[in-house]
């Protein structure tokens, strides 16, 4: 199978896994609802307005447009890598990065327009009669994986208090995999 096909299939697979998991959570959980899988792993529904770790440094529209531009640049970068016959593993790592970034873009661009608002008392509905909770480009990112690995006696999480999704995981894993590789600038 050609590396171009592998890259495209990987991007589609990651996006599909990300969106299926987010749709399931959005349509079956109220904000703050959780299911304990293990004592150290929970499915815990939150929504994120901003960047990583819930930061909100710049406006939502700018952030969404920046993410879209970054995905376009990554797509062009992958195209160049394929043309230059870069290592398949590196191309696939960048493909996972692109898919992760694109997964959160889908939420930001469309979720506000297609879902009703999730609240602690109500599960969201798809295509509500009175419209979504926000206009296009102003949706919230759905997060659900929570690993409270170390907690204190009061039950507060000491180590790993962040809640994330499949897309976030892909971005993190791809960056870790690419550590030690030559600088990306070399390939441009």
Per-residue pLDDT reduced to its tens digit, 68-81 = 999 999 999 999 99
Is 187 within 8 Å of 79 (Cβ atoms)? no
Where along the chain do its domains lie?
3-159+176-187
pTM for the whole thing?
0.86
Catalytic residues: 143, 168
> pLDDT tens digits for 123-165?
999 999 999 999 999 999 999 999 998 888 888 888 888 899 9
């Amino acid at each position: 199978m050609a590396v171009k096909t592998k890259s495209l299939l990987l991007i589609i697979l990651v996006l599909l896994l990300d969106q299926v998991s987010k749709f399931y959570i959005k349509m079956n959980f109220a904000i703050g609802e959780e299911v304990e899988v293990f004592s150290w792993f929970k499915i815990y529904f939150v929504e994120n307005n901003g960047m990583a770790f819930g930061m909100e440094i710049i406006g939502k529209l700018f952030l969404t447009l920046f993410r879209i531009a970054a995905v376009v640049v990554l797509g062009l970068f992958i195209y160049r890598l394929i043309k230059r016959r870069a290592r398949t593993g590196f191309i696939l790592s960048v493909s996972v990065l692109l898919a992760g970034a694109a997964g959160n873009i889908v939420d930001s661009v469309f979720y506000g327009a297609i879902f009703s608002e999730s609240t602690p008392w109500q599960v969201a509905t798809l295509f509500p009669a009175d419209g979504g909770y926000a206009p296009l480009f102003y949706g919230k990112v759905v997060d659900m994986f929570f690993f409270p690995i170390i907690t204190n006696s009061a039950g507060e999480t000491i180590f790993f208090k962040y809640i994330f999704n499949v897309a976030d995981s892909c971005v993190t894993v791809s960056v870790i995999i690419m550590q030690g590789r030559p600088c990306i600038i070399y390939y441009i």
